[in-house]
């Protein structure tokens, strides 16, 4: 499972706004994800992708919502894209705005990466989701493509539709193609090679309605500074560095402390000392990562319990069952039934 990375809290706001509209218990979801109200109010704050997955999984589990991601996109606003949103607002044309996505999208989130390719007289915007749980991939992909379109239409004050929308996942049960066409106003296809919007190349020349070249330069300088900070691992708290290292190594094997220390470019003794100073430990963080990944897999996949146990490094399923019940208060099987979307 790929849960390495972080996301800005700004990227969470539209999901939480929609959840509030739907009278879902956002506070319970935030508590489950261990995201504080102080973090949520700070637009520069970031949370782990594991926390983001936990938040969405908790909201989705409260009741069946096959169009949650799609409809949450209607709450998109410039702030949803962190500083990238304000950069695109001040570009001269839609094409200039799209050119800023790839260099600065990491400021928004590590949830996915974007590609732009010319297809004859059209431009294809493709989004590659980094999350592995099928349910999360569905809702995130639908949200990103819908949010792109709605935000672009707002930027240029033009409601022109794409030529086609493609999704890599199957059409969700309980939905109709008309549900999607109501938002995209064009043909929508599922089970495609990737998630993409296809737009006429002529759209790139559409002028952004409130461009400011001077402000754009200032914003890009600020974004570059933020990006440099974000890409320097030493800037992250030691607990975040270790959790990310554990997640990455755990995809192949149970990480040893020595592996994690090497990954963080620290000696084992320095790693232990810094974790102790932060009020944590290697074992505590390993257990937290395992527990978070277990919850995500139980709620978002149909993977057999013994396979989850093996992937998380438990020698036998009984050890995993005891570990999980001690933390969740229920067995893995019971948790899956309770959180089945």
Rank 33-37, 72-76, 78-82 by mean pLDDT and report only the highest: 72-76
Q: Which CATH architecture has domain 6-230?
A: Alpha-Beta Complex (3.90)
> How far apart (Å, rounded) are the C-alpha atoms in residues 21 and 51?
22
Q: Report helix angle 177-184 to 134-156, nearest 10.
A: 30
* Contacts of range 20-26, beta carbons closer than 8 Å, 24 or more positions apart: 21/75, 22/65, 24/59, 24/62, 24/63, 25/62, 26/59
What DSSP string runs through 93-155?
Answer: BHHHHHHTHHHHHHHHBSSEEEEEEEETTEEEEEEEE---SHHHHHHHHHHHHHHHHHHHHHH
So where are the chain's domains?
Answer: 6-230, 233-338
Per-residue model confidence (pLDDT) at position 274: 92
For residues 123 and 152, the answer to whether their CB atoms sit within 8 Å is: no
Q: Which helix (H) or strand (E) holds 7?
A: strand 6-8
User: What are the tokens at 147?
Assistant: 């949010």
Please state, rounded to an integer, the average pLDDT across all residues of the chain: 90
Which pLDDT score, from 0 to 100, does residue 2 have? 42
Of 299, 330, 303, nearest to 58 (Cα)?
299
CATH class of 233-338: mainly alpha
Whole-Å CA distances, 188 to 115, 151, 163, 268: 19, 19, 9, 52
Q: Give the confidence band of 228 by pLDDT, cuts at 50, 70, 90.
A: confident
The percentage of the chain sitting over the pLDDT mark of 90, rounded to a whole number, equals 64
Q: What are the φ/ψ torsions at residue 129 (nearest 5 degrees)?
A: -75, 135
Distance CA 123, CA 335 (A): 44
């Amino acid at each position: 499972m790929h849960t390495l990375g972080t996301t800005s809290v700004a990227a969470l706001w539209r999901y939480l706004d929609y959840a509030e509209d739907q009278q879902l218990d956002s506070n319970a979801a935030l508590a489950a994800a261990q995201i504080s109200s102080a973090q949520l109010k700070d637009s520069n704050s970031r949370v782990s992708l594991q926390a983001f997955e936990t938040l969405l999984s908790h909201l989705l589990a409260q009741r069946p919502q096959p169009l949650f991601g799609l409809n949450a996109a209607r709450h998109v606003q410039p702030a949803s894209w962190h500083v990238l949103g304000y950069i695109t607002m001040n570009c001269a044309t839609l094409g200039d705005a799209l050119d800023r996505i790839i260099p600065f999208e990491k400021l928004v989130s590590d949830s996915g990466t974007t590609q732009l390719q010319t297809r004859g007289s059209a431009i294809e915007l493709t989004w590659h989701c980094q999350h592995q749980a099928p349910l999360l991939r569905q809702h995130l992909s639908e949200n990103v493509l819908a949010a792109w379109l709605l935000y672009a239409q707002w930027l240029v004050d033009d409601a022109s539709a794409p030529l086609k929308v493609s999704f890599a996942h199957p059409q969700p049960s309980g939905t109709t193609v008309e549900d999607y066409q109501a938002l995209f106003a064009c043909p929508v296809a599922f089970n495609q090679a990737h998630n993409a919007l296809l737009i006429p190349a002529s759209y790139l020349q559409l002028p952004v309605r409130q461009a400011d070249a001077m402000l754009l330069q200032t914003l890009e300088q600020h974004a570059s500074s933020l990006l440099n900070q974000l890409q320097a691992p030493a800037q992250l708290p030691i607990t975040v560095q270790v959790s990310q290292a554990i997640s990455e190594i755990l995809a192949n094997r149970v990480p040893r402390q020595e592996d994690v220390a090497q990954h963080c470019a620290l000696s084992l003794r320095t790693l232990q000392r810094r974790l102790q100073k932060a009020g944590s430990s290697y074992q505590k963080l390993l257990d937290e990562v395992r527990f978070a990944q277990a919850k995500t897999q139980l709620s978002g996949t149909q993977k057999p319990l013994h396979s989850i146990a093996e992937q998380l490094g438990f020698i036998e399923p009984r050890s995993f069952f005891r570990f999980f019940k001690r933390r969740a208060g229920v067995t893995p099987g019971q948790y899956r039934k309770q959180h089945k979307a």
